[in-house]
């Protein structure tokens, strides 16, 4: 039984991760921001514990992570930095506030969570960190420069921390989804989704479970010689 903390667990990929760990009997705390009803339903369904926290607020995140450790009854074994927001806009039209909001949610929050949670992992001399990046962090997306930059930052964070934390038997990896059917892509019309599907060598869009399985595997004890990697789970979209 592992103690698992997942950010952005109320919907989409994060919710699939909550289900995957919970079905193995792991003790799971997940953070949500606005989707209280969905979070409560998921908590009832899985037995996972939901905590409200806007991860873009570093102080709130620090306090919530300390509370989460108390709720879990000890140091976190698995941290999944999943919470994220996208921004589809020309860089020329993007305001400073919009940039900061994306960087705070998608990059700063993961960095803060790694710092806070890794202290307990170092004391325990074990642990797993998985950052949820994006194929756009690898190849860049037009009209998503800020999002792509934030996700590329997660690659660097992953590699550096893998070196820093490796001697403490902590693995740090990044999972980079391709196009996954979640609310994040709800604004895309059918034609765009078809085009994205056509560009995917495996000829389908991803499902949340595709990502949750890889996150789970990386932290299952069966992948303990993998660290510092950014693993595309994208049906070949990023090739
Ligand atoms: P969704 O939009 O479906 O869900 C986003 C989740 O993040 C929600 O649980 C939301 O919580 C949470 N969240 C967002 N902002 C905050 C915040 N400030 N504080 C706390 N929680 C927050 O997204 P996906 O499931 O699709 O995406 C999950 C991750 O996967 C993201 O990091 C995304 O960038 C990445 N990804 C997704 C892809 C896709 O095609 N779907 C492709 C590549 C990467 P709440 O609703 O409670 O506010």
The pLDDT of residue 55:
98
d(CA 127, CA 168): 8
Q: Is the CB of 31 under 6 A from ligand 1?
A: yes
103 C-beta neighbours (distance < 10 Å), count: 17
Let me know if residue 7 belongs to a domain. Answer: yes
**Structure confidence by residue, pLDDT tens digits, 20-30:** 999 999 999 99
Q: How many domains does the chain contain in total?
A: 1
Confidence at residue 183, expressed as pLDDT on a 0 to 100 scale: 96
CA of residue 126 to ligand 1 center, whole Å: 27
Q: Evaluate whether 56 touches 105 at the Cβ level (below 8 Å).
A: yes
* Residue 83: per-residue pLDDT: 98
Residue 105's domain comprises: 3-233
Is 238 contained in some domain? no
Q: Which residues of the chain have pLDDT under 70?
A: none
Domain of 64: which CATH number? 3.40.50.720
Virtual CA dihedral for 192, 193, 194, 197, nearest 10 degrees?
120
- Measured CA to CA in angstroms, residue 6 lies from 48, 92, 140, 220 at distances of 10, 34, 26, 15
pLDDT on residue 129: 99
Residues 6+ apart with CB under 8 A from 235: 178, 200, 201, 202, 203, 204, 205, 206
Instruction: Give the model's pLDDT for residue 127.
Output: 98
- Asked if residue 239 belongs to a domain, the reply is no
In a domain, residue 224? The reply is yes
The atom of ligand 1 lying closest to the CA of 55 is 19
pLDDT for the residue numbered 39: 98
Give the CA-trace dihedral at 164, 178, 152, 109, to 10 degrees.
-70
Whether 227 is covered by a domain: the verdict is: yes
Distance 167 CA to ligand 1 centre (A): 31
Is 35 a pocket residue for ligand 1 (Cβ < 6 Å)?
yes
Q: CA 107 to CA 204: how far, in whole Å? A: 28
pLDDT of residue 132: 98
- For the chain, give me the number of helices (H) and strands (E)? 9, 7
Q: Which of 5, 6, 10, 12 to mutate to test the pocket of ligand 1 (most atoms within 8 A of CB)?
A: 12
128 among known catalytic residues: no
pLDDT in tens, 164-182: 999 999 999 999 999 999 9
What count of other Cβ atoms lies within 10 Å of the Cβ of residue 133?
Answer: 28
Extract long-range pairs of 153-157: CB within 8 Å, 24+ residues apart.
153/103, 153/106, 153/107, 154/81, 154/106, 154/107, 154/110, 155/230, 157/107, 157/110, 157/111, 157/114, 157/131
How many Å lie between the centroid of ligand 1 and the Cα of residue 201? 25
Q: Do the domain assignments include residue 132?
A: yes
Task: Tell me, using a 6 A CB cutoff, whether residue 157 lines ligand 1.
Answer: no
Query: pLDDT averaged over the chain?
Result: 98
Quick check: is 126 in a domain? yes
Among candidates 4, 9, 104, which has minimal Cα distance to 51? Answer: 9
Does 40 fall in a domain? Answer: yes
- Tokens in use for 236? 């070949």
């Amino acid at each position: 039984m592992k103690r698992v903390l997942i950010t952005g667990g109320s919907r989409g990929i994060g919710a699939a991760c909550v289900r995957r760990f919970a079905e193995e009997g792991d003790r799971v705390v997940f953070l949500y921001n606005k989707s209280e009803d969905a979070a409560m339903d998921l908590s009832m369904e899985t037995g996972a514990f939901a905590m409200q926290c806007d991860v873009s607020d570093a102080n709130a995140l620090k306090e919530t992570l300390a509370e989460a450790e108390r709720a879990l009854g000890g140091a976190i074994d698995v941290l999944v930095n999943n919470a994220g927001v996208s921004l589809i806009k020309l860089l020329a039209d993007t305001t400073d506030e919009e940039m900061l909001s994306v960087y705070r949610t998608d990059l700063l929050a993961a960095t803060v969570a790694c710092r806070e949670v890794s202290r307990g992992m170092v004391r325990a001399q074990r642990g797993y960190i998985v950052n949820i990046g994006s194929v756009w962090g690898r190849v860049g997306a037009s009209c998503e420069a800020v999002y792509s930059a934030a996700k590329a930052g997660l690659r660097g964070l992953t590699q550096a921390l893998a070196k820093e934390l490796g001697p403490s038997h902590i693995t740090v990896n990044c999972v980079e989804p391709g196009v996954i059917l979640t609310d994040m892509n709800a604004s895309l019309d059918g034609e765009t989704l078809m085009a994205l599907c056509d560009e995917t060598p495996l000829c389908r869009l991803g499902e949340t479970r595709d990502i949750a399985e890889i996150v789970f595997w990386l932290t299952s004890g069966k992948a303990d010689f993998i660290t510092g990697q950014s693993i595309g789970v994208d049906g070949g979209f990023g090739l």
